[in-house]
Structure 1
Amino acid sequence: MATRTTTVNDMSIDDLLERAAELKGELVAFAQGPRFARRLDAVLFEAAEDDGFLDEGTTIQVMDYFMLQRRLSDGPTVLERFVGQRRPPLADHEREMLLGWHDVVESCFEVRRFDGDAVLLHNLIDDLVYRVYSNMGRTGFATVRVGMFVVGRIVPLHPATDVWMVTGAYTPYPKSARRQLAEAAAHQLTTHPELLRRNPAVLQKAREIQAAHRADFIDQVGADITVLPPLEAQETLREHFRRQRQRALAGLDAGRAAKVGPAPEPRLPEDMLAADNIALVYDEVEGLNQYRDFGHLDDLFANPRPARDRTNLALLREYLNDESVSPLAIRRLVQRHPDGADPVFRALLRKPGFTWAQDGEKLLRRHKKAFFDREPTPSVSAVGERLAELLRAAGQRTRAGIRWPAGLTVLSRR
């Protein structure tokens, strides 16, 4: 068995893998205990198909997500609870190892080659190669061959190493599935551009693309923000994406452009279409965002009359409490109407001494912690070289492709 020594208490990769397997077994037993039963059942039910069925692979993946990433109602993950409550207490290097498992990479990987007990996996989404082990040794990759693809989850074996470990289950696919898997990976990347964050070069490319799109949006509507009725907002988005598509096709030769199938036109969600108005904001850093009923809040800040505007104060409270809404929305309101910020938030919070200049950022950090815990990423994606090769080889879009495996539902929950 090939080993590599590390600086983690002079433990080899084999030693770390053995210990990781032991602690992972304890973590699974802890998560399946009675204190988490109701919450685990709810997560499994959420992931089940319409008929309530969950296959073994999906169950393992959802269980892994529940332990490592799903935050409990009071804030911590099951993993954090386990690390804090295990008796006897974990050694410092063991605590560091387990808490490093929060850093999950979930993707479609191409199998590059084997190196001893490790396999080198090329992530089609972030275009990086990961050296990955299984805590089952080489037998953990018994179904994998060079040139195949695997869809699954990996975590750092230990933050002090540069190697990774399979977590949960993975699904192998033959070489013949490369076109469909490339399209599935491209769809995930389009939906979740934050997945580029590990590759600075591709991330910078995405920022450059976003800057060009933003300039075009400003040219189209006259500013980086516009508030419109829902149907007009939807048509504005469609025109924006049509312009970007035309620009992209202009860079292709006639033969390649002819193979590109029709792109689906963007459609706002039903709850957006049911709003009174929608703000389209193309921020320099966060990219293109949409906010429902933003116009009502814009009026509130422009002409603050909190005592007579309880409905819009309730709407502002929703903006503030909704963890999925970026601080950008509230910052924009304050930037547009700085004189309205203090009276509005004093009424909302019932704090006569509140001032935005002194208390505003602290308020946002308290209610939008997740946005401050990570670096903002562009809202557009850049495709890495290997995925671009596979997509070019695919030519016209495959209609009956492979759906992103059901077990990998974590991305849709972020």
Structure 2
Amino acid sequence: MDAIKHAAALKERLVNFALSPQFTRELDEAFERSRPDDLADSEVTASMIVDHFALQHRLASGDTVIDRFLRAHPGLSPQERAMLLGWRDVVEGIFEVQGQEQDALVLFNLVDELTYRARSNMGKSAFRPIQRGMFLICRLVPLGEDWLVSAHISLFPADARDQLLTQAADIGLRNPKLVFRNPDKLAAARRMLAAQREVFLDLYGTEYIVVSGDDVAPRHDAFMRACMDRDQPGNTFPLPGFTYPEEVLDAETVAIHFDPETGISFYLEFGLLQELFADPLLINRRRYRETLTSYLRGDDISPAAIRLLTDPAPDNAGVVFGKLLKKKGFSWPEHGESLLRRYKSRYFDEPQLPTTVPVSETMARHLRSALPDESSER
């Protein structure tokens, strides 16, 4: 059996395992949470959801379907186990067809701007309707030095380029991890982040400021304008559109933090917690206790936010968390890091990526041309 047929047989077994009754509830939840891509039809969308569930979804128990499959099939060969583990490295994107080499397509991913040689478990015939210049929305998994199409393909004509460039930019902004498969993109993002941090420090004199909710937009806009002026002094480009959640604008206080690893973050009711760590007895009040609990348990709040609160007074932090967790003798310097790793494990399990996503000049020109023409609206 050749590599492609072997991979196809193994994938079929894995997908059937993912569709078995033991995963019904969690798979149904995955379908409910999904926001199907408007550019993909329902069959393709369903195929992608199942494919993501089988290869990447983190189950409630913390492991994956692949982990469960490996435990349930101890007789798999070392090669099969290695292939399954390799399938965690999934490439998602919108691909431009650049050509065909024997039974493989040469694809350029608009999201990460890398080129892939992709093959199909259905052989060369699967690519017969596909011509140079067309676009595919699909998922790829490793197959030796090449890649294998995983799940169904959604095919678009060459004249859909503008629509797909916009879609690719949106995908990259929503999920920078897909862009940063490209090491050059990640290196560029880190350079941009370092430059932006200098701007923030020059503007505000510190790595975070605490403001009222209604002051968030003006402060953030001022920072964005300063970044644009640094890159192109005197430019008149409009600021990038940014929609602030209502809870941010309605908060009494918000910390605007420039994290050197990720970029700008907003932490709600940060001033309230500053009061708490200055006066640990406030932990006895419900509002302070619930706000700190939301910081500790909130999956979208970085450990960096808690460190900003605890670093000025680590002894007070020990008292606060000791009372919150009902742990006598709790010491922040001694126990704080393990506490963060327990409650914020995802921030430690993988490198934190910049939220600033660099784009190519081609993509930048496209996005600028897509902006409304203000003169025509007057």
- The answer to whether the aligner puts 1:17 opposite 2:1 as a matched pair is no
With over 3 angstroms needed to count, the CA separation of the structure-2 counterparts of 1:70 and 1:213, relative to structure 1, is same
Q: Check the 8 A contact 2:44/2:152 in 1, yes or no.
A: yes
RMSD of Structure 2 on Structure 1 (CA) = 2.5
Per-residue CA deviation, residues 168-218 of structure 1 (Å, 9 max, x unaligned), is 122222222222222222222233333333222221111111122222122
* Structure 1 position 17, deviation (Å): 1.7
Structure 2 spans left out of the alignment, 5+ residues? 373-378
Match of 2:291 in 1: 315
SS of 2:138's equivalent? strand
- The answer to whether the aligner puts 1:93 opposite 2:76 as a matched pair is no
Match of 1:277 in 2: 253
How do 1:181-220 and structure 2 match up within 5 A? 181-220=164-203
Q: TM-score, normalised by structure 1?
A: 0.82
* Structure 1 position 247, deviation (Å): 4.5
Structure 1 spans left out of the alignment, 5+ residues? 1-13, 400-414
Write the distance in 1 (CA, Å) between the matches of 2:320 and 2:209: 22
How do 1:12-411 and structure 2 match up within 5 A? 15-47=2-34, 55-86=42-73, 89-157=75-143, 161-248=144-231, 250=233, 262-305=238-281, 308-384=284-360, 388-392=361-365, 396-397=369-370
* Structure 1 position 250, deviation (Å): 4.4
SS of 1:379's equivalent? coil
Write the distance in 1 (CA, Å) between the matches of 2:6 and 2:270: 52
Write the distance in 1 (CA, Å) between the matches of 2:229 and 2:8: 52
Write the distance in 2 (CA, Å) between the matches of 1:398 and 1:226: 31
SS of 1:102's equivalent? coil
Write the distance in 2 (CA, Å) between the matches of 1:220 and 1:398: 28
Write the distance in 1 (CA, Å) between the matches of 2:233 and 2:156: 35
Per-residue CA deviation, residues 150-182 of structure 1 (Å, 9 max, x unaligned), is 12211222xxx3322111122222222222222
SS of 2:57's equivalent? coil
Write the distance in 1 (CA, Å) between the matches of 2:352 and 2:363: 28
Give the letter for the 1:71 counterpart: R
Write the distance in 1 (CA, Å) between the matches of 2:365 and 2:262: 29
Match of 2:376 in 1: none
SS of 2:242's equivalent? coil
Q: Check the 8 A contact 1:238/1:266 in 2, yes or no.
A: no
Q: Check the 8 A contact 2:197/2:258 in 1, yes or no.
A: yes
Write the distance in 2 (CA, Å) between the matches of 1:122 and 1:171: 15
Write the distance in 2 (CA, Å) between the matches of 1:298 and 1:75: 33
* Structure 1 position 60, deviation (Å): 0.8
Per-residue CA deviation, residues 48-95 of structure 1 (Å, 9 max, x unaligned), is 67xxxx811111111112222222211112222122113x63222211
Match of 2:375 in 1: none
* Structure 1 position 380, deviation (Å): 0.6
* Structure 1 position 243, deviation (Å): 3.1
* Structure 1 position 398, deviation (Å): 6.6
* Structure 1 position 323, deviation (Å): 2.3
SS of 2:353's equivalent? coil
With over 3 angstroms needed to count, the CA separation of the structure-2 counterparts of 1:89 and 1:348, relative to structure 1, is farther
Give the letter for the 1:25 counterpart: E
Please, which moves more after superposition, 32-41 or 224-233? 32-41
Aligned length in residues: 369
Matched-pair identity in %: 38
Q: TM-score, normalised by structure 2?
A: 0.89
- Larger RCO (alpha carbons 8 Å, 6+ apart): 1
Write the distance in 2 (CA, Å) between the matches of 1:272 and 1:398: 26
Give the letter for the 1:322 counterpart: G
